[in-house]
Amino acid sequence: MIFYFSATGNSQYIAQRLAEVTGETLVSITECLKNHKYTWELLPGERVGFVTPVYFFGLPSIVSEFIRNLDLCVRGQHFVYHVVTFGTITGQSHYMMEKALRKKGLNLDGRYIVKMVDTYTLMFDLSDEEKCEKVTKDAEVCIDRVIEKVVNRVRGDFDNRKIPHWLAFPYTYCNRKKSTAPFVVLGRCIRCGACAKKCPMGAIEMRDNRPIWIKEQCLQCLGCLHRCPVFAIQYGKKTIKHGQFVHPGVKM
């Protein structure tokens, strides 16, 4: 079984690749939370994978919430692994996952990482499409290696991009839910409603055929910004200059 959370497709793509090779069930954490589906029964010896991005040097809060509620019906020994997609550093993502799983009686056997396009455009500029394409293409080699390790149940910590606890944890407060006040909708909006349908926090509604943020806080995953077909959603003043990115290998 492969659980994943993805706002712009990077983690979803890897999870899909893993599912294709292993034949194991692909599960969206976002959909689990929306449907309050936390109980899953594992097959004997089945692998249990988690594929997630790094948010503010750690796990996205939505992933932590899911694992707190997760009820896995285990059967014997299961190989448990975590794949982290990142742009610069992985922070303490694996440590946070290990700690959360330990409370569920699970050991984290494999820790893997894949460098991909960092879609946090409040900081990073993605307007150079060729550069984004190169990062995405280069990631394929790493993904293949991760898949090989998962298939062969290779245990170990393969994260060479983490940072010390003392450096990472002062930033974990940033992973708390963020204000939606800076979101703006430009006049080019075509009223398709994709942003409202896909928001993992249910923070957006369509009113009078316009997206409205009905919650004061969200994950700041920027999925709405990147998936908008006409780039009508912005956050503050910088994002309009920094472009959009959705992984070309997925349908969001």
35-83 pLDDT per residue, tens: 999 999 999 999 999 999 999 899 999 999 999 999 999 988 999 999 9
Delimit the CATH 3.40.50 region(s) of the chain. 2-171
Separation of alpha carbons 36 and 225, rounded Å: 26
- SS3 assignment, position 114: strand
Domain 2-171 listed as CATH 3.40.50: yes
Residues of the chain with pLDDT under 50: none
- SS3 assignment, position 123: coil
pLDDT at 176: 65
Backbone phi, then psi, for 103, in 5-degree steps?
-65, -20
CATH architecture under which domain 177-242 falls: 2-Layer Sandwich (3.30)
Amino acid at 218: C
Separation of alpha carbons 199 and 172, rounded Å: 22
Sign of CA dihedral 148, 168, 138, 62: positive
Neighbour tally for 57: CB within 10 Å: 23
Q: 115 with 135: CB under 8 angstroms?
A: yes
Q: 150 with 156: CB under 8 angstroms?
A: no
Separation of alpha carbons 59 and 111, rounded Å: 14
Delimit the CATH 3.30.70.20 region(s) of the chain. 177-242
pTM (predicted TM-score): 0.96
Summarised one tens digit per residue, pLDDT across range 134-159 is 999 999 999 999 999 999 999 999 99
